[in-house]
Amino acid sequence: MAERIDYAVIGAGVVGLAIARRLAQSGREVVILEAEDAFGTHTSSRNSEVIHGGIYYPTGSLKARLCVSGKKALYQYCAEHEVNHQRIGKVIVACDGTQLAGLKKYKQQGEINGVDDLQWLEREELATLEPAVLGVAGVLSPSTGIIDSHGLMLAYLGDAEEHGASLALKSPVESGRITGDGIALNVGGDESMTIVCNTVVNSAGFHAQALARKIAGLPPETIPPTYYAIGHYYTLTGASPFRHLVYPVARQDWLGVHVTLDLGGRCKFGPDFAWIDRIDYTFNTSREAAFYEAIRRYYPGLKDGQLQPGYTGIRPKIHGPGTEAPDFMIHGPKDHGVKGLVNLYGMESPGLTSSLAIAEYVHDLLSA
């Protein structure tokens, strides 16, 4: 006979853990099912570790709303739970006059989204704030920050477990079906079993769409396609010349090769952007020349040999080349007609920043 549980959260990335924490705090019995042998091994640990301001996202989108509210909640959470972070600030740079209109649009969009602390920087102000940066103007986002993503996930998991949640590692969900008595999940691993859940939250990241397609009874037309985009990060040898994060005005459908500082003060550049057809974290060193060219547009002091290969990260996309980036896709019962099921698709940036707000959103969907 199948074991019965109340809530199953599939995926122990930063978003899944935040959701499990919120549901456990509401008094639910929660089991977190994770296919890997540790939590947060993919997107949640291979990113820029930035607390985003909420500037770039379309008006009224989930990304805009959840990033701005999630940022505020995240700073408060980090302070209360001693999660290492710094409100270091970010400078967006127009490298030449052709990028000024784009820079102004960023500031306008950020203000529409409720980011009320943005500051315009003239050339002299930019040079004073970041002497190593070459640009004709900039926008300062004081509320952008950096965070220890592993420490954050540990804190979320600790909160969830304090409220009775449990984490099951090496427990891949292999299939499922909608029944009249809940959602049955077939869980693999060392001790395979079938569990019947009152509620399931599919927060499986890269695998969310593939998993949804394996749940018999879920309308397939509600499941978006799956795409992947890889980004490389290079590290800077020697001391960092930057005091803030530095982002150039975007040139394509991504934010460009930007400057990120970690909590130890070390500098890294990235990510770049390339579409790939499968999950493969191999570092492509042929990208190096393109990095030097992109970085020197705003940091001409970069010397040959200063860049060292760092790491790669892959974004779970729900759109392909040549199409506009869509919003977060968080499907509840009203979207697909299945009681007690929430599917989260395309949970890329700003997923970490938005994690607490996403968790609240999912909780509300299931409480409606």
Give residue-wise pLDDT tens across range 246-294.
999 986 555 579 999 999 999 999 999 999 999 999 999 999 999 999 9
- Torsion over CA: 361, 364, 366, 368 (sign): negative
- Torsion over CA: 55, 59, 64, 66 (sign): positive
Measured CA to CA in angstroms, residue 360 lies from 16, 127, 144, 356 at distances of: 12, 41, 22, 6
Output the six-digit token pair for 185. Answer: 């999940």
The reported pLDDT for the residue numbered 17 is 98
The reported pLDDT for the residue numbered 256 is 75
Secondary element (H or E) of residue 175: strand 173-179
Q: For residue 187, give the amino acid letter.
A: V
Q: How far is CA 295 from the centre of its chain?
A: 23
Q: What SS3 class is residue 33?
A: strand
In sequence order, what DSSP letters do the residues of 342-367 get, joined into one string? EEEE---TTHHHHHHHHHHHHHHHHH
> φ, ψ for residue 182 (rounded to 5)?
130, -160
Pairing of strands 245-248, 90-94: parallel
350 touches 361 (CB < 8 A): no
In sequence order, what DSSP letters do the residues of 115-170 get, joined into one string? -TT-EEEEHHHHHHH-TT---SEEEEETT-EEE-HHHHHHHHHHHHHHTT-EEESS
Angle at CA of residue 262, ends 257 and 264, nearest 5°: 145
The reported pLDDT for the residue numbered 255 is 58
- Nearest Cα neighbor of 310 from 338, 331, 291 is 291
253 touches 42 (CB < 8 A): no
> First-to-last CA distance in the chain?
31
Output the six-digit token pair for 243. Answer: 């005091």
Q: How far apart are CA 359 and CA 228, in angstroms?
A: 24
Q: How far apart are CA 143 and CA 337, in angstroms?
A: 39
186 touches 174 (CB < 8 A): yes
The pTM of the full predicted model, rounded to 2 decimals, is: 0.97
The whole-number mean pLDDT for each consecutive block of 10 residues of the chain, a chain of 368 residues, reads: 90 98 97 97 95 96 98 98 98 96 97 98 98 98 98 98 98 96 95 95 97 98 96 96 95 74 95 94 96 95 97 95 93 96 97 98 94
The reported pLDDT for the residue numbered 368 is 79
Q: How far is CA 226 from the centre of its chain?
A: 16
In the numeric block, the tokens 């740079």 are attached to: 93
Q: How far apart are CA 41 and CA 37, in angstroms?
A: 9
> φ, ψ for residue 361 (rounded to 5)?
-60, -45
Residue 339 per-residue DSSP state? T
Q: For residue 298, give the amino acid letter.
A: Y
The reported pLDDT for the residue numbered 254 is 54
The reported pLDDT for the residue numbered 1 is 58
The reported pLDDT for the residue numbered 128 is 97
